[in-house]
Copies of this chain bind each other. A is one copy, B any other.
């Protein structure tokens, strides 16, 4: 197939312009007022009637002729004959004659002949008469017809976003239905034979994974004011992909595909777009997002997003969401962007605009270096990781000529969503069940189980609020870090219930064909195990590495603290390192190897941060109930 040549990568600005050149606007919806909240008016609305539609009493009291109260005061009231009453929702039964007053309720129609009213507090009743203890001027306490809104008056302009107050004005004008901009329909097509919808079973042996992009992009589309339409996954088969793309183009104003940047998918997209539309752009000088496609298909706009979730989200947010907002007539929310300072230096490759995922953090109340601004720290588990989507709050655009962001440099962070807030608490370190339960008591806490050693490094860099370290104290704990709480946990070998292989310690792993599973080297459990292996090697006069090699699976290091236990529970291993608590939780046998302290260390300038105090209380409660 002949591909159009796009020898040079387009600039990010050209990519934005290309997307903007495509018409994403939907049409016009006519919606009932009760559903119009948040929508955007198509045309000006002028008042079709006077509000109020009649001269209206502003208070409870008496309608009267102002000139008949001239000179009245507390000591010398005017006396008027009360000839009836009128309530809100009633028509006055007759006009007022000289010397008369009419009892009137707030909101009721002023009777003909009356030109003012006196509030009941300034009167006394005397049989059929009322004594008016104040002088009144014509118009006093009366709202004249049209005084609020006059018929013919401009009420709301085109492009007005309808918030509760505009809804109120429209209801006052009796408007029951309004013409609002249609929300642009955005079709979402995730491509890839490996994708499975949540709720269905995945087959990991075939490399199946759950689809992420359909859900994140759909939620992003809705946030930007669009209407998301999620299409069934298109596999890598060409005819199927073409069918789904064309169906989406037929039904939507914009089609977004993700994962469509692989070579085979690109071929299909190229062919379909060449036949049925126009390709405007392939390849943008941005990382990630380089293979982005922009075109027009059967009269609809088309943008091809990267397949990796974080990349797809950043490219969507940078290039596509602004165009959807514009078509919907909605401004970018102010809270979608925050400024802050880099907590540490972040190096960057030059040459392309880089979208660098970051987390944001509230500094401590007296943290001088932070100057009241957010702290911004890089988050990167690799672009394929969904957790970097969950652990990052947004991203920084790093200019192609920028080699690095310096520590303390001020940066603008584009949040993944205007609803994103900095975590109440950022903790890093070892995973632990007691800690995890305590964290449930800290709303908005974020905890990254990166292991003890990386956690201490991050703590020395001054990033997290707390670092959680299990096992014996390490040399490089920051000297001024204080301990918020500590407790002991029991660890050992987790085996199938009933311990069928009769494992009774490390030595058992050296015998027979016990399949063992270890945890990641950064976990304090792994270090605990190393110490035991070393002790056993000493006893036996062997080299520790020799023992390690003799344990089948010692180098099979899984990331999660429960991961080895889960392999054992699944029958895929005969023993794994883990906690007693995990063993009881999963119904496994437990062979104790030792206890280790767990310490929660506080980054000193964060000691007074509210989230730290909340964690302290939650830990106290949790430890008291053990």
Contacts and interface: CB of A to CB of B under 8 A. Distances in A.
Interface of A: 33-34, 37-38, 44, 47, 50-54, 56, 58, 60, 86-91, 105-109, 143-161, 163-177, 192-199, 202-220, 222-223, 230, 235-236, 262-263, 307, 309, 313, 331, 333-335, 381-382, 384-387, 389-390, 392, 416-417, 419-421, 431, 436, 439-440, 442-445, 447, 449, 558-563, 565-566, 582
A331 B418 CA distance: 13
B387 A107 contact: no
Given A33-B198, A88-B236, A169-B390, 6 more contacts: A87-B236, A88-B194, A143-B384, A164-B219, A165-B416, A172-B386
Contacts of A174: 196, 198-199, 202, 210
Given A163-B219, A164-B417, A150 B562 contact: yes
Given A207-B108, A440-B158, A563 B165 contact: no
Most buried by B among A169, A309, A439, A445: A169
Nearest to A261: B106
Contact of A206 (B50, B90, B419, B560): B90
Given A146-B560, A561-B152, A164 B216 contact: yes
B382 A212 contact: no
A407 to B, nearest CB: 26
Contacts of A215: 33-34, 164, 167-168, 170-171
Given A163-B219, A309-B168, A386-B51, A206 B89 contact: yes
Number of copies: 2
Contacts of A192: 88-89, 107
A157 B108 CA distance: 55
A150 B558 contact: yes
Contact of A172 (B34, B38, B145, B212): B212
B205 A91 contact: yes
Nearest to A171: B215
Contacts of A582: 152
Contacts of A54: 204-205, 207
A263 B209 contact: no
A106 B266 CA distance: 14
B387 A37 contact: no
B168 A563 contact: no
B164 A106 contact: no
A575 to B, nearest CB: 17
